[in-house]
Structure 1
Amino acid sequence: MNTADNSNTVGVRVEIDDVQSGALRPRPVPYAGEFVFLRIDDRQAGRALLRRLLPLTSGGLPGADRSQDAWVAVALSYQGLRALGVPQESLDSFPRAFREGMAARAELIGDVGESAPDHWEAPFGTGDVHIALSALSSDVGQLGKELERARAAYEETPGVRVVWQQEVRQLPTGRTTFGFRDGISHPNIEGVGLPGSNPQEVPIKAGEFILGYPDETGSLPPTPSPDVLGRNGTYAAVRKIHTNVAAWRRYLRANSSSAEEEALLAAKMVGRWPSGAPLTLSPDRDDPELAADPHRVNNFLYREHDDGGFGCPAGAHIRRTNPRDATIIGDARMHRLIRRGTTYGPPLPEGVLEDDGAERGLVGVFIGTHLERQFEFIKAEWVNDGNFIGYPGEKDPVAGHHGGTGSVTIPEKPVRRRLRNLPSFVVTRGGEYCFLPGLSALRWLAELED
């Protein structure tokens, strides 16, 4: 089996060809893709489907010819593993958060009010999501070929039913529905052979992202049994998020006196300008030239460049979700995630301030080996609580649940500014915790016998 290394690796080699491509690869630019959720009504049919999907499921890193680069990833929920007939001893070896599922832990992670599971799209949170397929590519034609092959696999398998589908694609602007470039930051993972986006980031231990390797504590993360099932796998929190773009624009307009102030206020809440240029490096104006340079756009630390938050506020979205070396309560490296956001739905036309009723937003995939101290911790402590940065009661201005009563502090001289009465700009439409097995584990699952 091939292994991967990089210049920053010290004695760790990840069996990269056994890791699903959908686990570690950054999202391509541009991109198009599709998510398909399946329910297994017959365990033999589920196993047969995995056997059909195995030839489509790639491992390793991107190829040299990106026009031919497309991948299908196969993940399973806890209920899906049960439906396949995985032995109870193995099921019991999975972590509690995964066994319980995202809906059962919604209040903990801030999915309350209109984001609560009672309001989620079916089949999220119902137990009917067993297999989650995702296909992603930088080339629409190549994506179509992969989707056709995947569709043939599940449509030719009686006893397996499609319960949800969602097309995603990069908008013509290359930005999110809120108007900001996304997908800029990717961690530097020890032993993988894929450079991170921040040259100043010390490599994160491979065990934070892939099971079977030491994590930041120096220990192996808890791994499902038998070893073949857990090794080279990971967990993915999959979420569909609706974006209230009209409410976002109205709030910016109501709290600014000019278009320039609106742009600055939006950047202060996000932490980057629309082009992707970080406030930490360009605090006063957008800098498309900086944003277009892959060697500079993510090359910064907070303590060195902006410890006081006068450029990028401590409460800004990107600083909360990845504090880097900022002065906070706790160790940010223990909570690092791979984030992969993909956009669905049409953009709200430029300048429109009233909602048009269209569904738009993102399907986010958040990958790591510790659901509780990575995804759940970030959601509970960093997104929906401000204690770790010294702003008790404040939430992430973009991703937090505010309900019209939120507030956010923006450091300014001589007097800081405090925004009040923030509405919720995002609404959770649904989510699932999934296990993304290694390729050897997929074969083991496909060959299970009663």
Structure 2
Amino acid sequence: MADDPNAAVLDLDDIQSGVLRPRPSPYAATYILLRIDAPRDGRELLRRLSQVVTSAAAPDRPGRDTWVSVALTFEGLQALGVPQASLDSFAWEFRQGMTARASALGDVGPSAPAHWEAPFGGPGVHLILVGVAPDTASLEGALGRARAAFADLAGIVPIWRQDCHAPPDEKEPFGFKDGISHPAIEGSGIPGSNPLETPLKAGELVLGYPDEMGGLPPAPQPQVLGLNGSYVVFRKLHQDVAAFRRYLRDNAKGAGDEELLAAKMMGRWRSGAPLALCPLHDDPALGADASRNNAFLFRDDDATGYKTPPGSHVRRCNPRDAEVAGVVRLHRMIRRGTVYGPPLPAGALEDDGADRGLMFAFVGAHLKRQFEFVQSEWVNGGEFLGLQDAVDPVTGSADGTGSYTIPRRPLPRKVHGLARFVTTRGGAYGFMPGLRALRWLADLRDAPP
């Protein structure tokens, strides 16, 4: 669908490219965490990075699929010396941080912060640099410019790095094509992946513009700090591929049924073809067609879920026009996943000890009603679907006692003993400032003694 001619005009020159632009395919990506030991060095770093970070303007420019983004945690803003009045104006969830929100997010048991990979969950995670490009050479060029911005600053300390890559088949570790769904945002000039959906109001993703409620989302103050910024959630998610494969084997009647069960749990076949458009068999050509593989809704053609089960991962994370408790559009956000670690060899049913999974970034203007709501109510709950306490069969916080129901005539199919296949290894809440805000932060002065 086309943008509303009355939609707000986005200041794309001031918005980081990483807020609005979907990652390229194929891709290479790197996440770097930095600690700020000296406020002045931190501010000088932001001054330099404001010349490295790419804006969302000129979507047809050469090299548009290569960018560097920068986000600051609440502790990072404190380390820069941001005035207390400004700190107090940030969203409450952001000020608390992901570690304090762990229970609400389902980060319990093996996903609890006590088990996270250092330095996540501890002090000193101040700034998050993300580089994304279509290939390693372009990525290294962009990262080289970012690293040069802090190479001579003694008060800036790199503390963690995660390299990601697109596997040759462009699938995530469980074997499903990834990176398919991307909402259209009014005024961005960047099309969404579902032509049947109305573009989201810009204020759902970027601060300073009306959101789906018709008002301006609460933004950090002064205005220059919040305008054109976004909140971002970073998550390192380890995937137990061997356990997922064993679960399919133990609950299916042969190889063909394994693939059907996997599709019913995910909501798509491994090729990316959606059950909504091909419920009986895979269609790799459809899965590979970006103009068709996300062009579907649920209400008129699959209200009951005979094609795409209501509890499947795809339908939980974006119920689209399905009848659910609440307004779906108020909980939309941008999701970006990048694969890390080597693939588990085909057919292997035992874990080889390698770390593999997805680095996820969730971008939006409302941490509470977007990421936190989806994680707690849709992924780790089932009340909104009338499924009581059932969790997402792929990414939910299962404990081995739950079950998953697949609508089917004449009787539904139910599989039991749902295990945890995805474990949180770390994460942080960040704020991605606009480019003018980066310069404003760079111009801060030390508080008087």
Q: TM-score by structure 1 length?
A: 0.97
> What is the rounded CA distance, in whole Å, between the counterparts of 1:293 and 1:167 in structure 2?
28
Q: Does 1:79 align with 2:75?
A: yes
> Secondary structure of the equivalent of 2:426?
strand
> Secondary structure of the equivalent of 1:107?
helix
Q: Is the 8 A contact 2:28 2:132 kept in 1?
A: yes
Residue matched to 1:277: 273
Within the candidate set 105, 116, 119, 2:115 is matched to 119
| Greater shift in the superposed pair: 381-390 or 403-412 | 403-412
Q: Does 1:13 align with 2:15?
A: no
Query: How far off is 1:69 after superposition?
Result: 3.4
Tell me the amino acid that sits aligned with residue 200 of structure 1. L
Query: How far off is 1:51 after superposition?
Result: 1.4
Residue matched to 2:169: 173
Q: How does 1:45-124 map to 2 (within 5 A)?
A: 45-61=41-57, 63-64=59-60, 69-124=65-120
Offset from partner CA, 1:145-192 (integer Å, 9 cap, x none): 111111122222111101110000111121000000011011111111
Structure 1 unmatched ranges of 5 or more: none
Offset from partner CA, 1:217-252 (integer Å, 9 cap, x none): 111000100000000000001000000000000000
Residue matched to 1:184: 180
Q: Is the 8 A contact 2:67 2:133 kept in 1?
A: yes
> What is the rounded CA distance, in whole Å, between the counterparts of 1:231 and 1:406 in structure 2?
44
Q: How does 1:19-418 map to 2 (within 5 A)?
A: 19-61=15-57, 63-64=59-60, 69-418=65-414
Q: Percent identity?
A: 56
> Secondary structure of the equivalent of 2:51?
helix
Distance 1:148-1:184 versus aligned 2 partners, 3 A rule: same
Query: How far off is 1:61 after superposition?
Result: 4.8
| Greater shift in the superposed pair: 390-399 or 51-60 | 51-60
Tell me the amino acid that sits aligned with residue 289 of structure 1. A
| Greater shift in the superposed pair: 237-246 or 195-204 | 195-204
Distance 1:438-1:344 versus aligned 2 partners, 3 A rule: same
The alignment yields a C-alpha RMSD, in angstroms, of 1.3
Query: How far off is 1:7 after superposition?
Result: 3.7
Q: Is the 8 A contact 2:38 2:79 kept in 1?
A: yes
Q: TM-score by structure 2 length?
A: 0.97
Distance 1:75-1:85 versus aligned 2 partners, 3 A rule: same
Query: How far off is 1:60 after superposition?
Result: 1.2
Q: Is the 8 A contact 1:183 1:341 kept in 2?
A: yes
| Greater shift in the superposed pair: 366-375 or 142-151 | 142-151
Q: What is the aligned residue count? A: 446
Q: Is the 8 A contact 1:101 1:125 kept in 2?
A: no
Query: How far off is 1:10 after superposition?
Result: 2.1
Q: Is the 8 A contact 1:237 1:365 kept in 2?
A: yes
Runs of 4 or more above 4 Å deviation: 65-68
Q: Is the 8 A contact 1:366 1:375 kept in 2?
A: yes
> Secondary structure of the equivalent of 1:165?
strand
> What is the rounded CA distance, in whole Å, between the counterparts of 2:237 and 2:440 in structure 1?
33
Offset from partner CA, 1:19-69 (integer Å, 9 cap, x none): 000111101100001000000000001011111211110101575466563
Offset from partner CA, 1:320-379 (integer Å, 9 cap, x none): 000000111111000001000000000000000000000000000001000000000000
> Secondary structure of the equivalent of 1:104?
coil
> What is the rounded CA distance, in whole Å, between the counterparts of 1:432 and 1:11 in structure 2?
32
Query: How far off is 1:193 after superposition?
Result: 1.1
Structure 2 unmatched ranges of 5 or more: none
> What is the rounded CA distance, in whole Å, between the counterparts of 2:75 and 2:131 in structure 1?
22
